[in-house]
Amino acid sequence: MEDIKEKFVGTWKMVRSENFEEFLAEVGVNFFIRKMAALAKPTTVISVEDETITIEQKTGIRDKVDTFKLNEKIEKEMEGTKMECMVVYEDGKLKYTNTPIDQESAVKPQTVYRERFGEELLVQIECGKVVCKRYFERVTA
């Protein structure tokens, strides 16, 4: 957990993004919302307390908080669909998998990786054949 604290804990501001609109289209987000979301420059706050990791994503339009423990499956609802979610830490990356519980669901499985490259935090989101990359810089007080 100390490695995770050292690498990820803090406040991060997005500085650039690749293929985000394509990712949103792949997961079925309508055109208007995709355009609005693409304009947002989210801030991510990552914290660790004991064995619990919290990731807050703040956009000003729609904020989201995920709280989890490593290697523990949880159920949560995403866009009206129940998903099985699990986060693991391997090869210096946080890997967050979201899989629809109902295999007949129109919602596709997604995998989100968070890893450090120098001073940047890369958030890579994979869904179907689409790979989205979002780059963040640490906000210093």
Burial class (CB in 10 A: 0-12, 13-18, 19+), 56: middle
Rounded Cα distance between 87 and 132, Å, is 19
pLDDT in tens, 103-125: 777 788 999 999 999 999 999 99
Say which CATH superfamily domain 1-138 falls into: Calycin beta-barrel core domain (2.40.128.20)
Rounded Cα distance between 24 and 90, Å, is 26
Angle at 54 between CA 49 and CA 59, to 5 degrees: 145
Q: In sequence order, what are the residues at sequence separation of 6 or more whose Cβ sits closer than 8 angstroms to the Cβ of residue 46? A: 8, 9, 10, 12, 53, 54, 55, 56
Question: What is the pLDDT at residue 141?
Answer: 59
Question: What is the pLDDT at residue 22?
Answer: 94
Percent of the chain with pLDDT over 70: 99
pLDDT in tens, 1-30: 899 999 999 999 999 999 999 999 998 888
Tell whether the model's pLDDT for residue 68 goes beyond 90. yes
Mean pLDDT taken over the chain: 92
Rounded Cα distance between 119 and 110, Å, is 26
pLDDT in tens, 91-106: 999 999 999 898 777 7
Question: What is the pLDDT at residue 38?
Answer: 86
Tell whether the model's pLDDT for residue 33 goes beyond 90. no
- Domain layout of the chain by residue ranges: 1-138
Confidence of residue 80 (pLDDT cuts 50, 70, 90): confident
Asked whether the beta carbons of 49 and 31 are under 8 A apart, the reply is no
Mean pLDDT of 116-139: 96
**Distances, alpha carbon 55 to alpha carbons 10, 46, 64, 130, 131, in Å:** 10, 5, 8, 23, 21
Asked whether the beta carbons of 74 and 61 are under 8 A apart, the reply is no
